Copies of this chain bind each other. A is one copy, B any other.
Amino acid sequence: MGRVGTKDLSQTLIPSDIWSSLCTKMGALRLPSLTSIFAVSSARSSLFSRRSKQLNVRKLTSAVKVFAKSTPATEVAPAESNQKLPVQEQGITPRSQDFNAWYLDVISMAELADYGPVRGTMVIRPYGYAIWEAIQDYLNIKFKETGHSNMYFPQFIPYSFIEKEASHVEGFSPELALVTVGGGKELEEKLVVRPTSETIVNHMFTQWIQSYRDLPLMINQWANVTRWEMRTKPFIRTLEFLWQEGHTAHATLEEAEREAMQMIDVYTKFSYEQAAIPVIPGRKSRVETFAGADKTYTIEAMMGDRKALQAGTSHNLGQNFSRAFGTQFADENGQRQHVWQTSWAISTRFVGGIIMTHGDDAGLMLPPRLASVQVVIVPIWKKANEKNEVLDAALSVKDVLHKAGIKVKLDDSDQRTPGWKFNFWEMKGVPLRIEIGPRDVSSRSVVISRRDIPGKPGKVFGISMDSSVLVPYIKEKLDEIQSSLLDKATAFRDSNIVDVSSYDELKEAISQGKWARGPWVGSDEDELKVKEETGATIRCFPFEQPQGPKKCLMTGSPADEVAIFAKSY
């Protein structure tokens, strides 16, 4: 449109001391902190050193572009210009160029998260945490509607608990953080910082469950968990993360199975309806089943680089933990039985999934239902005498939308040009932008731009400021964007899943970066061979299965089900 421009700050003089502090700052924002105190695995270390080499030069340049925010106005003269910088020059590596660099850039520039001082930890900043809060708000209601109560278990678990369930200890022991000193004294038994709570939950369940009348027992907790991961990535895999973990106990296997399925269904609906992510729900293979579960159900999401993300899981634990901990009840005939259990979780990893599903070269793109800012208002004025009337109109539009329950932000700072603000809020993924200039004030109308449709096609002029017009218009557009994001992600997903009937076809699909879907009755060894040779794993046996007779792509034997293979995070 060229209505307004972005100032090119690289043309501005910057005092050298501020420059150097800025360079330090930019480094600190994206590189592992100097205070990071652990040896890093070779995989990770190479990942980061590569990043740091690539980024330092670029960042020193791009730092200038984002500089004004932290510089006193007296030192950087506010300049107006009609030059519009390509977004990538503001610091974000284009997604199409380097997906991983783009992802880390978005997290940093959109202020979603930062590295913590301890290797592999993450500070979730307000704009990122707001996404997690929106996830919590939705799921918390669904959990309660389906009969679960929130509670809280201690995070310190006696080491001996972890050892009680054989496959559980095998799965988790390499990842444990251990507290060995408390109150200045060496502890007699070391404590595990919870990696998950099945063990302590069962320890408590034995005290609360006596009779079938105490069942089902259905609880959930929102908590932090710790897993000593070697290869970490913000949101996707961090040493400590936030999640909810549901835990239930039932009188019968059938009930537990129904519960496990119900909760994967809650996650699936959440993904489609709130996050606009067309996950594929299904069952994990034996190899990929949770350590301690009989069956694991999963929702698998395709990221923008076509790698799979396990975005949530629900486990039918059978009687594995109840037998290990003696969690029993007296049935209607007075017989002692072990309870049947489930557990299910979604974590802050899901935030990473949202970024990697919808984002584009310009940055983040948030689904309206999870966006903490759904509409940003950018007022535009050139002359001082225009400022008041424009700001008044912007404030009254803000007020109208706020009262209608729309999450709206007015960016009325005079430190930034409108053009800079356009780029900034696009990069932050805000679904709709409202522009109000002097001419709009005269005509009592606004200009509205969609984040998901760049440029002119996504821009509409002359929408009345009148609330009876504006409010329904905005609500409709938010709904349209919500659907459109889901449609786009679904089309992308479907065009990147290949139906295969032989191992060669599978290898071909995987080598093209796609997902392969084909009949499978292979052994665990066959599955591990595929992983070794292609890097792909069975993501799931999807619930939705094609009809008709099938032959295993690997063994040629008759197969009941197709599996989906993909490389994954």
A32 to B122, CA, bound (A): 35
A334 to B71, CA, bound (A): 9
Interface string of A214-229 (1 = CB under 8 A from B): 1000010001101010
Q: Indicate if A70 sits at the interface (CB-CB under 8 A).
A: yes
Who on chain B is nearest to A156 by CB? B118
**From B18, B39, B155, B178, contact of A181 by CB (8 A):** B178
Q: A189-B37, A193-B193, A204-B114 are in contact. Are A129 and B158 (CB under 8 A)?
A: no
The answer to whether B207 and A28 have CB atoms under 8 Å apart is yes
Which chain B residues border A223 with CB–CB below 8 Å?
224
CB within 8 Å of B: which A186-225 residues: 187-191, 193, 200, 203-204, 206-207, 210-214, 219, 223-224
Who on chain B is nearest to A36 by CB? B158
Which chain B residues border A184 with CB–CB below 8 Å?
173-174, 176, 228
Interface residues on chain A, size class: 35 or more
A22 to B210, CA, bound (A): 8
Smallest beta-carbon distance A410→chain B, Å: 15
Which of A85-93, A145-153, A268-276 binds B?
Answer: A145-153
Interface string of A472-486 (1 = CB under 8 A from B): 000000000000000
CB within 8 Å of B: which A451-470 residues: none
Q: A187-B37, A190-B181, A224-B224 are in contact. Are A332 and B153 (CB under 8 A)?
A: no
The answer to whether A154 and B71 have CB atoms under 8 Å apart is no
**From B114, B130, B230, contact of A183 by CB (8 A):** B230
Additional A-B contacts beyond A70-B210, A118-B158, A180-B180 (9; CB < 8 A): A28-B206, A28-B207, A72-B332, A72-B334, A129-B151, A154-B240, A174-B184, A176-B182, A179-B193
Q: Indicate if A556 sits at the interface (CB-CB under 8 A).
A: no
The answer to whether A415 and B213 have CB atoms under 8 Å apart is yes
Which chain B residues border A214 with CB–CB below 8 Å?
69-70
The answer to whether A153 and B183 have CB atoms under 8 Å apart is no
The answer to whether B37 and A242 have CB atoms under 8 Å apart is no
The answer to whether A191 and B118 have CB atoms under 8 Å apart is yes
A114 to B69, CA, bound (A): 50
| A-to-B contact residues, CB < 8 Å | 15, 18, 21-22, 25, 28-29, 33, 35, 37-39, 69-72, 74-75, 114, 116-118, 121-126, 128-130, 132-133, 149-158, 160-161, 173-185, 187-191, 193, 200, 203-204, 206-207, 210-214, 219, 223-224, 226, 228, 230, 239-240, 242, 330, 332-334, 415
The answer to whether A21 and B177 have CB atoms under 8 Å apart is no
Who on chain B is nearest to A178 by CB? B181
A311 to B13, CA, bound (A): 52
Who on chain B is nearest to A18 by CB? B330
Smallest beta-carbon distance A143→chain B, Å: 12
**From B28, B70, B182, B242, contact of A211 by CB (8 A):** B70
Smallest beta-carbon distance A504→chain B, Å: 38
The answer to whether A21 and B123 have CB atoms under 8 Å apart is no
Who on chain B is nearest to A329 by CB? B70
Smallest beta-carbon distance A132→chain B, Å: 8
Smallest beta-carbon distance A179→chain B, Å: 5
Task: Give 28 pairs: A residue, B residue, CB < 8 Å, sorted on A.
Answer: A18-B210, A28-B207, A33-B203, A37-B188, A38-B187, A38-B189, A70-B210, A70-B213, A70-B214, A71-B211, A72-B332, A72-B333, A72-B334, A116-B204, A117-B158, A123-B151, A125-B151, A126-B150, A129-B150, A129-B151, A132-B152, A152-B242, A154-B240, A155-B240, A174-B184, A176-B182, A182-B239, A224-B224
The answer to whether B121 and A154 have CB atoms under 8 Å apart is yes
A74 to B187, CA, bound (A): 48
A132 to B415, CA, bound (A): 42
Smallest beta-carbon distance A438→chain B, Å: 27
The answer to whether A219 and B126 have CB atoms under 8 Å apart is yes
Which chain B residues border A158 with CB–CB below 8 Å?
35, 37, 117-118
Which chain B residues border A126 with CB–CB below 8 Å?
149-151, 219
The answer to whether B178 and A179 have CB atoms under 8 Å apart is yes
Which chain B residues border A15 with CB–CB below 8 Å?
334
A149 to B149, CA, bound (A): 26
